[in-house]
Amino acid sequence: MPDWGKMQLMAEKLLQAEEVKNIYLIDNSDTETDKVVIKSLFSSKKIHYLWERDLGWGASHNIALRESVWQRTRYHIVMDTDIDAKAEDIDKLHYFMDKNPQVGLVMPRMVDGNGREVYESKLLPTPLEIFLPVFISKKRQNRNELRQTGYKEIMNVPNLSGKFMFLRTDAALKARLFDERYTKYAGPTDLTRTIHRQYLTLYVPDITVADKSGGDSAKKKRTEYAINMTRYFNKWGWLFDRERNEMNLLTLELCGEKR
């Protein structure tokens, strides 16, 4: 069941942004919410409630993305309800994308509820890092999360978080939107990687959003994560993934690390 309190707060903030034209609330719970309840919570005509039973994360977001494509909207934001973003920062990101047509996707700096850095700009994962993390050194983990950069400069990164994605709609369409085989977790990596082939996919530190999520239960998270990452490696390659190697090496080089 959606947390309508969080959705209401998020919508109220987003509606303050000049460039926000429509907000799509995607409900994929078992039972459709009474329209009277929705109307009492969200009075703006810019807010659209869409219900589809029991869809995965990517498929749910694709419903809204297709609406943006149909409306010929230039930009589309994928945003979790636990993200706290300021209206003026949404407008700044819109301006940034207008000035940089070579950019297909932007993710701002992300902090947790206590203001601590959240490291969500990453290299593309390998099976070893996902399924046997005990064998990964702290140094390698930090390198995969690009912590050596200090997260102080703009970075062109092939793996960005799905918690907040400011997408150029044309870029998402060329990438064929989210791959709906993923119910969660792997979808943002897959889409960022695909867009990265033709556009810049940037981390931009000048704008900050806060991630106030509590997270899934550990058992559910591990199981669903493993299933989705297995699907990801089945698609892109397990040991042999030339594109992954090339993208990761170039990212490290651009971030100041010599080959």
CA distance 129 to 252: 17
pLDDT at 21 (0 to 100): 92
Can you tell me the mean pLDDT for 5-14? Answer: 84
Residue 258 has pLDDT above 60, yes or no: no
Please tell me the distance from the alpha carbon of residue 125 to that of residue 144, in angstroms, as a whole number: 8
Per domain, the residue ranges of the chain are 76-254
pLDDT digits (tens, 9 = 90+) for 136-167: 999 999 999 999 999 999 999 999 999 999 99
> pLDDT value at position 196?
98
Cα 195 to chain center, whole Å?
Answer: 12
Least confident of 138-152, 169-183, 215-229: 215-229
Q: What is the pLDDT of residues 42-81, one digit of tens each?
A: 878 888 887 777 678 899 899 999 999 999 999 999 999 8
The confidence score (pLDDT) of residue 214 equals: 61
CA pair distance 183, 215, nearest whole angstrom:
16
> Which residues, other chains included, contact 101 with Cβ-Cβ below 8 Å and sequence gap of 6+?
none
The reported pLDDT for the residue numbered 215 is 53
CA dist 184 to 38, 50, 60, 179, 181, Å? 26, 19, 10, 10, 9
pLDDT at 36: 72
Residue 217: band (very low, low, confident or very high) from pLDDT cuts 50, 70, 90: very low
pTM above 0.85?
A: yes
- pLDDT tier at 1, thresholds 50, 70, 90: low
**Helix orientation angle between 242-254 and 186-196, rounded to the nearest 10 degrees:** 80
Nearest to 167 by CA among 44, 235, 69, 86: 69
CA 55 – CA 27 distance, rounded (Å) = 9
Coil, helix or strand at residue 46: coil
**For domain 76-254, is the CATH number 3.40.50.300?**
no
